Amino acid sequence: MVEDESPQAALGAARLDTFPKLLHAAAAAYGEEPAVVLHAETIPDDAISFSGLERASAELARALLGRGVGKGCRIGFIYGNSPTFAVLLAAIARIGAIAIPLSTLVKADELVRVLRQSDVHGLIVQRSLLGHDYVDRLCDALPALANATSANLQIPDAPYLRWIVSDGADLPASIHPRSWLTDAAGGVSDAMLRAVEDAVHATDQLLEIYTSGSMAAPKGVKHLHGPVLFRADYIARMTKRVRGQEAAAILPMFWVGGLGIVLLPSLISGACTVCTEGTSTSSRHAMGSVLAADDLAMMAQATPYWALGMSETFGPYAYGDVLRADGFPLCAPLDHIAERYEVRVADTDDRPVGDGEVGEIQVRGYALTPGLHKFERADYFTADGYYRTGDLGLLDGPRIHFVGRSGDMIKTSGSNVSPAEVEQELMQIDGVQAAYVVGLPDARRGERVAAAIVSRDGTVLDFNDLDSHLRGRLSRYKTPQTYIQIAPHEVPMLPSNKVARRLIRDMIAERTAQEAV
């Protein structure tokens, strides 16, 4: 399925293995053609060309060098999808510093944890996005900022953070105006910038992506220059991205969905990344969930049929010949493995399982993360270099079927219940648009099966009818003991367009507790 000629070949570059090489090659090849455009709601529209991206990021890169930023220095930024996001990423990456894009959705409590875990030295913050003031959010997260009399930071809650830059009026004394940074560019020559760029290597860390989830400590996923650009080229070929094409950045660029699937493949192929001020998720197309037939029919129009992917693999590492295989409703089967990846299904001792058996899907390869920031490698990797994904797969000859996350399996009265199996049966019932099955703590059973149901057209569902249907098709221990009905807009989504099952669990527990009062 992959085209023979890569976008790298079209750029006339035999080996684009660092970000500065990409910037120079794309500017030379695509010039003033649009690279990134923004159609905004509450802030001005914006656009930048490929040459403009090279020029603007070079100016900012010299400013960063002037402020003492160098190879390995950890620079965070909070920005929505936009030309400025691309400029910040490019400026940080081209001098060998580590670009750490942080979520625009992050709340104050989580932001403190991310800033502490990520060890950022400098932070560049968009002042306003969709009516939200991110300086106010920073001050909520770090109250010391509101009262500080100096912008030379020493904050115990973020001990490595030394400076913050933003714009707009009424900045607190603790936050530098953008001019503090940009004025430093004059002290660094173009020749010095090129010398720095020449010292950036394919094995240097380019990015660190902080994933959403329920871990006590945020998880920072490292990625290197060479593997990131290899993946950008691969995704561009797989999605047939071409020069001049418009590619919509629907998912956020602070996550691999917007960054690795849209922005970077577009930069390498000459396509234009089209941004809006907000990004969108949809439970009707959620990854890793059982979907309705009409929603699957719509998804079937777009190829390739990506199967599984994650931040650690910098996007999808497998795709299928079909959108769904019979009996396996969560995603496409793993029929083909992405270039330079290996996948196996292993038992609890990390030994390959036999045909027809279920085990953990494990992956290794060139573009796999080299590690997670401040986590022991042995906690997530096997001795022979495979990453433990936590996804369960059924080996079916040369094909692997994804059957669910190991943490999503429900253990009730000593038996395992697959949420996908129950969800698939629920969605065969007239009037059910979507179903989300989780386990709730239960003193007698360990866990009890619970379900949140979305109806078609907002009709009120009779849970007794649902229960009667399931009892005729499932073992009694698999049928939910608790139901709630929710509206489509109430389905909690992660930026990765996956359903936040932990929040579904919390929602059911809260509503049933209220009903019991």
Q: Lowest mean pLDDT: which of 221-235, 305-319, 466-480? A: 466-480
| pLDDT classification of 280: cutoffs 50, 70, 90 | low
Q: Is the pLDDT of residue 18 over 90?
A: yes
Give the C-alpha separation, 451 to 158, whole Å.
Answer: 40
- Percent of the chain topping pLDDT 70: 95
Burial class (CB in 10 A: 0-12, 13-18, 19+), 182: middle
**Whole-structure pTM value:** 0.86
| pLDDT classification of 139: cutoffs 50, 70, 90 | very high
Predicted pLDDT of residue 496: 72
Whether residue 138 contacts residue 151, with contact meaning beta carbons closer than 8 Å, is answered with no
The pLDDT tens digits of the residues spanning 346-383 come to 999 999 999 999 999 999 999 999 999 999 999 999 99
| pLDDT classification of 11: cutoffs 50, 70, 90 | confident
Residue-by-residue DSSP string for 404-424: EEGGG-EEETTEEE-HHHHHH
| pLDDT classification of 52: cutoffs 50, 70, 90 | very high
Predicted pLDDT of residue 244: 95
The pLDDT tens digits of the residues spanning 449-472 come to 999 999 988 889 999 989 888 888
> Could you tell me what percentage of the chain is helix, strand and coil, using 3-state DSSP and rounding each to the nearest 5?
35, 25, 40
**Amino acid (one-letter) located at 64:** L
Give the C-alpha separation, 508 to 511, whole Å.
Answer: 5
Give the C-alpha separation, 436 to 419, whole Å.
Answer: 8
Give the C-alpha separation, 250 to 438, whole Å.
Answer: 28
Q: Is the pLDDT of residue 1 over 60?
A: no
Helix H or strand E encompassing 129:
strand 128-129
Q: Is the pLDDT of residue 216 over 60?
A: no
Mean pLDDT, range 156-172, rounded to an integer: 95
Q: Is the pLDDT of residue 2 over 60?
A: no
Angle of the 50-66 helix axis to the 83-94 helix axis, nearest 10 = 50
The pLDDT tens digits of the residues spanning 92-120 come to 999 999 999 999 988 888 899 999 999 99
Give the C-alpha separation, 365 to 346, whole Å.
Answer: 16
Q: How far apart are the first and last CA of the chain?
A: 58
Place of tokens 């990131």: 228
| pLDDT classification of 215: cutoffs 50, 70, 90 | very low
How crowded is residue 416: how many other Cβ atoms within 10 Å of its Cβ? Answer: 10
| pLDDT classification of 325: cutoffs 50, 70, 90 | confident
179: which residues sit within 8 A by CB, 6+ positions away?
A: none
Q: Is the pLDDT of residue 238 over 80?
A: yes
Task: Look at residues 491, 415, 413 and name the one whose alpha carbon lies nearest to residue 453.
Answer: 491
Helix (H/G/I), strand (E/B), else coil: 165: strand
CA 435-439-442 angle, to 5 degrees, is: 140
Mean pLDDT, range 264-286, rounded to an integer: 85
Predicted pLDDT of residue 118: 96
Q: Is the pLDDT of residue 12 over 80?
A: no
Helix (H/G/I), strand (E/B), else coil: 194: helix
Rounding to the nearest 10 degrees, give the CA dihedral for residues 497, 503, 507, 513: 170
